[in-house]
């Protein structure tokens, strides 16, 4: 019916051919993130019965957005005339809501649309042969971005990523143990029985391993931060060596990091160099360029949509059931299926006592092998020999119909 690569390719084609040049990055020095919603419509039940061997499926990009910006709390306006969160996922979801509003207007006007009358008077519901798939060119910022760096990624010049948070302190330098600037300072506080070794790869690159006993490491985390140990446990994926083809690989001293900060007043990250830097499963706010933001991370918002739907409070007055995503697809980038599932699905599985029609979904999580042409990683590969500093694109784009 559809595949991850097919959905990714459709979104990239839409970006190249349907969006204007204005607002797109300068490929010589800028990068951006892309997100979109794709409608997948199969033949109606009657048509399927008439032609069972010729089932027609149409796929259409109905919403798209790009962007990496999020304003700080001091720039927020009570009048609502400034967008707080312009990360690609949020711009695309906002665009999707406009699409749904337009479809509801078509329904009320007795025109062809995605809705059919519900059983409740004045309410509408999504037609059963239509589903929506969310695509993102990158791993969402926040909890989904926290996972171990696998050995092949250690061969990259800058293995540690921060989702949208470009230029943050977690950016590593390959010529210094793959530790971040703040980690270099904190590494002096590591127990004396900890030894960091440089290991060479076949292509001449380097990655770091530690011989530190993990039990001692966890004890130091508990003593320094006095944080609930269970809440700050890294996943089993972080605690064990990577296994491929029966071979045990060295334990890596670092993890992919997110620029998103823990919600003030709640549990905080341990910030111990290496595996103990982040606590997983926590709510986070997006990083700002200066003062702290009040916008929740994309991981947290995706988890919310997976329970409450994407339609928003206004549309819910006219819908009998929420509009859920059937799948979330991530483009080619550093990615962990375990981290995505933890961030989007598992954190909300315990939620109960929801209104009728609402339910924590078991959304399908997939990754495509196709890379976004204006992603940070793609631009870095093209400009590998350039001394120009890469920055996030200053403008974002949104499309829904004529937008």
Distance (Å, whole) CA 133 – CA 4:
10
Query: Is 89 an annotated catalytic residue?
Result: yes
Rounded (10°) CA dihedral 135, 319, 86, 34 = 10
- What's the distance, Cα to Cα, between the start and end of the chain in Å? 29
Please compute Rg for the chain using Cα positions. 23
Task: Say which residues have a Cβ less than 8 Å from residue 260's Cβ, sequence separation at least 6.
Answer: 141, 142, 145, 163, 165, 284, 285, 286, 287, 297, 299
Cβ atoms of residues 348 and 307 within 8 Å: yes
Helix extents (H) in 170-286: 181-186, 214-225, 236-239
Active-site hit among 89, 151, 162, 212: 89
Tokens of 243: 């296994």
What residues form DSSP beta bridges with 65? 35, 398
By three-state DSSP, how is residue 395 classified?
coil
**In the chain, how long is the greatest CA-to-CA distance?**
74
Tokens of 299: 């991981």
Question: Which residues form the catalytic set?
Answer: 89
């Amino acid at each position: 019916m559809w595949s991850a690569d097919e959905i990714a390719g459709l979104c990239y084609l839409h970006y190249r051919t349907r969006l204007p040049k204005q607002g797109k990055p300068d490929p010589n020095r800028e990068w951006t993130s892309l997100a979109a919603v794709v409608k997948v419509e199969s033949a109606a039940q009657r048509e399927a019965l008439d032609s069972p061997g010729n089932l027609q499926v149409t796929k259409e990009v109905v919403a798209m957005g790009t962007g990496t910006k999020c304003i700080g709390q001091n720039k927020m306006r009570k009048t609502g005339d400034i967008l707080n969160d312009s990360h690609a996922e949020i711009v695309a979801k906002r665009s999707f809501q406009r699409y749904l509003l337009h479809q509801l207007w078509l329904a009320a006007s007795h025109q062809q649309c995605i809705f059919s009358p519900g059983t409740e008077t004045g309410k509408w519901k999504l037609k059963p042969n239509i589903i929506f798939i969310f695509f993102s060119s990158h791993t969402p910022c926040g909890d989904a971005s926290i996972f171990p760096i696998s050995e092949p990624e250690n061969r990259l010049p800058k293995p540690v990523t921060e989702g949208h948070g470009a230029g943050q302190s977690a950016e590593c330098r390959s010529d210094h143990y793959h530790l971040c600037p703040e980690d270099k300072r904190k590494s002096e506080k590591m127990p004396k029985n900890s030894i960091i070794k440089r290991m060479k790869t076949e292509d001449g690159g380097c990655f770091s391993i530690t011989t530190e006993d993990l039990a001692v490491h966890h004890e130091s985390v508990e003593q320094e931060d006095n944080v609930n140990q269970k809440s700050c446990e890294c996943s089993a994926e972080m605690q064990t060596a990577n296994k491929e083809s029966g071979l045990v690989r060295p334990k890596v001293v670092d993890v992919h990091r997110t620029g998103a900060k823990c919600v003030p007043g709640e549990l905080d990250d341990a910030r111990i160099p290496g595996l103990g830097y982040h606590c997983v499963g926590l709510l986070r706010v997006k990083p700002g360029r200066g003062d702290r933001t009040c916008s929740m991370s994309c991981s947290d918002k995706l988890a919310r949509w997976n329970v409450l739907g994407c339609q928003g409070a206004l549309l819910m007055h006219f819908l009998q059931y929420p509009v859920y995503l059937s799948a979330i697809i991530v483009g080619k980038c550093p990615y962990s299926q375990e981290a995505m599932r933890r961030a989007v699905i598992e954190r909300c599985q315990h939620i109960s006592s929801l209104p009728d029609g609402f339910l924590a979904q078991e959304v399908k999580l997939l990754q495509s092998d196709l890379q976004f042409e204006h992603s940070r990683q793609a631009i870095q590969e093209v400009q590998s020999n350039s001394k120009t500093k890469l920055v996030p694109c200053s403008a974002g784009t949104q499309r829904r119909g004529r937008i």
